[in-house]
Chains A and B, each alone.
Chain A
Amino acid sequence: MSAHAEVLHDHHGPPEANQSSRVDARTLGMLLFIGSEIMLFGSFFAAYFFVRVVNPSAPAEWPPEPYHFPVFVAGVNTAILVTSSFTMHWALQSIKRGQRAGFLAGMVLTFVMGLAFLTTQVVEYLNVGFNTGDGAFASVFFGLTGLHGAHVAVGLSLLLMVIIRGSRGHFSPEHHHGVELPGIYWHFVDVMWIVVYATVYLL
């Protein structure tokens, strides 16, 4: 009997997981998660387009008079979030090259910009001049932007964990999967904001 077979027959407990080169299991997990997120956002966008386009009593103006969206403030917020993706990318490139200071600086900047985005959104909510009870448009506005804000909050938690682990020296040029996956998530959050901002605020 071969050595391999002997090992298999002497082994106790559950069999070892079969790891295929098709896709890394952790990356596959993140892809499936993002797939479910796209479906979640898709349902909110469906509600938005129904209220704005399909609904026979949809207002001619968006948002309906006398309300206005803070397009400029949200635009500045968009710039902040987009910039945070650049610093996230810089952080990952730095740890891949073994530049720990650049990695930590990039992560902290990304976190601070994400926090600034979320804080600005909260301030925007407080001063926007309407609330969820002011019509379907307000509900979908708070629904879509709030859903995205919740994702930013989750992303910030992930970034904070990366910063803490990074400051303890957990990552290296060879081992940085724990930075890569939050990076993918952060870019996804950014992509979704581009879609939300362009669709809700600008179009």
Chain B
Amino acid sequence: MENPFRSEAAAFRFLLITIGAFALIVVASLISTILGVIVWLGLSAAAVGVYLRQRGPGPKPQHIEHVGGPEERRVLVVANETIGHDELLGAISTRALSVKTSFLVVCPALTTGLKAWASDEDPARAAAQQRLDEMLARLASVGIDARGEVGDTDPLVAIEDAVRTFHPDEIVIATHPAGNSSWHERGVVDSVRVRYDVPVEHVVVDLEAEAGS
């Protein structure tokens, strides 16, 4: 259920619902106290029902408007610990071969839920910034012009922030392999595919295999 006070219009609608609900409760109570209680319970159950129904299938995929000329492409790259590794660099390099491709690399400042609640994000942001700087330097060394930013602690929010400002034509997400990735566990890649109407490539970076080879 969305917050009833998220905007003036939503608050106004909530007021109208409140007036209707309390009018029913008062009228029922004037007829009989028991009836008033039953109506109150019924309305409460209806509110829970609406809440559960709204938790069902999500909205349609969000359309991302293409920005720039027809031959221009914008690629959003999202990674954290996997940033700067060969698989991801390969995926970026392949795309860089096309003309007029610009890249935005977003590195979410991953931290624990408790630290996020306590706004203790500085170490995570500093670490993410360092990884990002290294990645941008590597890309620049092979002639790929990319810009980067540290994103929100929640990867989905970081992606949404970037989508709003960058308007990507494609999203590349790099994660650890399944079983070793919290992004996998949380269904980040699937959520992004459902949320946006642009191609989403999932690049799996196996750091253990890379270290072993």
Binding site for B on A (CB under 8 A): 1-5, 8, 18, 20-23, 27, 30-31, 34, 82, 85, 88-89, 92, 179-180, 183-184, 187-188, 190-191, 194-195, 198, 202-203
Contact = CB atoms under 8 A, between A and B. Distances in A.
Given A27-B6, A184-B7, A3 B147 contact: yes
Given A4-B149, A183-B8, A195 B22 contact: yes
Given A82-B19, A184-B5, A1 B137 contact: yes
Contact of B14 (A82, A183, A187, A202): A187
Given A194-B15, A198-B26, A21 B129 contact: no
Contacts of B26: 198, 202-203
A96 to B, nearest CB: 10
A22 B159 CA distance: 11
Contact of B147 (A4, A82, A202): A4
Interface of B: 3, 5-9, 11-12, 14-15, 18-19, 22, 25-26, 29-30, 36, 121, 125, 129, 132-133, 136-137, 140, 146-149, 152, 154, 157, 160-161, 164
A180 B14 contact: no
Contacts of B5: 30-31, 34, 184, 187-188
A23 B164 CA distance: 14
Nearest to B4: A191
Given A1-B133, A187-B15, A198 B25 contact: yes
Chain B, interface SS category: helix
Contacts of A85: 12, 15
Most buried by B among A27, A180, A202: A202
B125 to A, nearest CB: 8
Nearest to B165: A21
B21 to A, nearest CB: 9
Contact of A89 (B9, B137, B149, B154): B9
A203 B36 CA distance: 9
A23 B19 CA distance: 28
Given A8-B129, A180-B7, 14 more contacts: A2-B133, A2-B136, A5-B129, A5-B136, A18-B121, A20-B157, A31-B3, A92-B8, A187-B11, A191-B11, A194-B18, A195-B22, A198-B25, A202-B30
Contacts of B136: 1-2, 4-5
A61 B101 CA distance: 77
